[in-house]
Amino acid sequence: MEKKETVLVTGGSGFIACYCIITLLNNGYKVKATFRSLKKAELVKEMLKEGGITSFEDISFTEADLQNEASWDKAAEGCQYVMHTASPTPNTDAKTEDDFVIPAKNGVLFVLRAAKKAGVKRVVLTSAFGAVSYGTLKDTPYTEEDWTVLNDTVFPYQRSKTISEKAAWEFIQSEGESMELSVVNPTTVMGPVLSTDYAHSIQIIRQMMNGEMKGCPKLITGYVDVRDVANLHFRALTMPEANGQRFIAVAGEALSMLDVAKILRRNLGDVAHKVPTKELPSWVIRLLSVFNPKIKMIVPHLGLVKKASNEKTKALLHWKPRSAEEAIVTAAESLFKFNQI
């Protein structure tokens, strides 16, 4: 029998990473997942079970840290492919830009160097729509040809994603040799959570459903289901035409936060009675941000329209995403399941 190929999935406890692991295992690959601490292993097993995985014989766990280069050589050993989903995520503790940018950029380079040493064939990097659409204004949808322009309006998270993705492409060009790279740039990720430990993007739904969000900020962006993001990672890993390409993951039309609220009310009935019904003026959000660091994080995005195109992803990789509506509704339903609302 042919030996199964092994994929290293970094940041193995993440929302996208768990679904990538599920997709790989379901398609007959072995997975080696990395965590900063192996204490996460049991939680991840529970999340994988929730996602339908019943056997753990094809998955192993190893410790590796984005700030410790030496840890990656051991992690990449024996792997034919890498999905690099690990990255510092937005949080209010990041005091300086370096808290995001340095670990993100160094982490990418540590993983790529270790992958090259291990003879990895292809790396799929999880970047973000934040590396595509910031620092610029466009009426037409953003495409894979667009890059974030690093000016004063760009927040540290988007800056870190842009700088780390550019570093990855430069590495492949200058010293990657035969190793291949594909990049996935997801918009706002929704879909069913697998535990009480879930992505920051899902907080929007929780805050709407439990009445924390009294009115909707004026934000317009694309949405995508986490299951489709994982499927896109798999296609980016396995399809020859994905080599050397970046792919935006978006379900379709851009939605305002008020559109998202309307979707929740329309689909969930009485349980969505606390969901806001009005859009808040941007000056109100700016005022509130003085007292609330979480609100402060959205201020630079107020009033921006961030449309994204999935034409290339559909045409080149035959990707067929679920609707944004399904992604949003299943996110809310799963939060009920875990008593988060």
How does pLDDT run across 31-84, given as a tens digit for each residue? 999 999 999 999 999 999 999 999 999 999 999 998 899 999 999 999 999 999
Does 25 reside within a domain?
A: yes
Rg (CA), the chain: 19
Q: What is the pTM of this model?
A: 0.96
**Residue 244 pLDDT greater than 90, yes or no:** yes
Does 27 reside within a domain?
A: yes
Does 300 reside within a domain?
A: no
Does 107 reside within a domain?
A: yes
Q: Which of 32, 40, 116, 161 is catalytic?
A: 161
Does 259 reside within a domain?
A: no
Q: Which domain holds residue 95?
A: 6-190+224-250
Percent of the chain, pLDDT > 90?
Answer: 83
Total number of domains constituting the chain:
1
Does 75 reside within a domain?
A: yes
Structure tokens at 149: 């322009």
Contacts of 308 (CB under 8 A, 6+ apart): 129, 132, 133, 141, 142, 187, 221, 222, 248, 250, 254
Identify the pLDDT of residue 89. 58
How does pLDDT run across 210-231, given as a tens digit for each residue? 999 999 999 999 999 999 999 9
CATH of the domain at 148: 3.40.50.720
Identify the pLDDT of residue 93. 60
Q: Tell me the C-alpha distance between 180 and 121, whole Å.
A: 6
Look at 7-21, 168-182, 262-276, 284-298 and tell me which has the smallest mean pLDDT: 284-298
Q: Phi, psi at residue 225, to the nearest 5°? A: -85, 135
Does 146 reside within a domain?
A: yes
Q: Phi, psi at residue 240, to the nearest 5°? A: -55, -35
Helix (H, G, I), strand (E, B) or coil at 52: coil
Residue 83 near residue 126 (C-beta atoms within 8 A): yes
Does 14 reside within a domain?
A: yes
Identify the pLDDT of residue 1. 61
Is 161 designated active site?
yes
Residue 198 binned pLDDT confidence (cut-offs 50, 70, 90)? confident
